[in-house]
Copies of this chain bind each other. A is one copy, B any other.
Amino acid sequence: MTLAAFGSVGLDDISTPEKSVKGVVGGSAVYFSLAASLFTKVRMAANVGNDFPSSVWDTLRSRGVDLAGLQEFPDRPTFRWSGRYEGAMNEAVTLKTELNVLVEEPQIPESYRSARYLFLANMGPDVQLRILEQFPQATAFADTMNLWIHEAREDLDRLLQLIYGLVLNDGEARLLTGEHNLIKAGAALQKLGPDVVIIKKGEHGAFLFTPEGRFGLPAYPVEHVVDPTGAGDSFAGGLMGALAEADDLSMENLRRAMAYGTVCASMTVGAFSTEALAQATRMEIEERYQELRDFLRF
C-alpha cells in the first residue's frame, strides 16, 4: 500500500567524538523515505531550498519514491541543523537550528491523498493537524518533540486523539506523561488517544504498546556507531514501510515492523548522514532481520 510521508529536508553539521562533518544530507523526510522505500511505495512531501544536492533525489526516485510533494524555494536556503554527540552518543546536543524554508507549510499534491498510510514526522502539531485533515482515510502515525510538548500542548492533544499511532523517544514520552517508568508512560500515552504507541530508546531499543499487548525489542547490536543522526526517522521509515507493505496492523505484524525499523536504524548509524542507508538493499535488511531474530532468541 502507498505511504505518504511529511517531514523535513535538511543540511546537517554533525560533530562526534571521532569526526565532524558540515552541510551533509539530512532531514526526517529523507531518512524516513530512504528506509520506507525499501518496503513500499512512498510519496514524500517536504520543503527544500536552493542549496541541496540533487543526487539524493536520484536515489529516492530509483527506489520508486514519488517526489511530487517536494516544494523547492529557489531563493532561500534549506533547513539547517547543527548537533554534537558525546560519549555513548545516545542523544544529540542541538547547537543551532535555522528553519529557513521550514517556516512554510508543506504542499499536499492531489495525487497523494489516496495514500492508505500516512506518516507525519516531527513538526508543529497545528501543521500536522492540517495535513491529517486531508487524509481522512489513511492510517496515520505521527512523531513529535519536546518543543511542541512545552509550547503547543493543546494542538498536540487534539492530534493525539486523531492519529492511529504515536512514535516518540523516551525523553519525550516521559515529558508528555510525567511518568518516569516507560511501561507506565506507554499506557498513559495510549489514554491520550493513539491506539498504538511506540517509544524509541536509541541504543536501548524500543517498546510497542497496542490494545492487544506490549512488545519490547533491544537495538540491533552495532559495534561501531558512527553517527546516530536520523536513526529515529529511519526506524519510523522501516516500521511504516513494513506496515504498509503488508497492509496489516495486527500485533504480529506490528512486532515484525518494529524489528524492520530497528534494522533500518542500525544501517543509518553505521555511517555519517544517509550514506549507509542510501546504499542499503532489501537483501541486507532481510539478513540483519534474521541476525536480530537470532540475537534475541531464547
Contacts and interface: CB of A to CB of B under 8 A. Distances in A.
Contact of A181 (B180, B225, B295): B225
Interface stretch (A103-111, A142-150, A161-169, A216-224): A216-224
Contacts of A295: 213-216
A255 interface: yes
A296 B216 contact: yes
A184 interface: yes
Nearest to A187: B223
A283 interface: no
A276 interface: no
A218 B216 contact: yes
Total identical chains: 2
A223 B188 CA distance: 11
B296 A215 contact: yes
Contacts of A213: 294-295
B89 A298 contact: no
A201 interface: yes
Contacts of A215: 295-298
Contacts of A256: 298
Interface centre among A89, A181, A296, A298 (most CB of B within 10 A): A298
A217 to B, nearest CB: 7
A259 interface: yes
A205 interface: yes
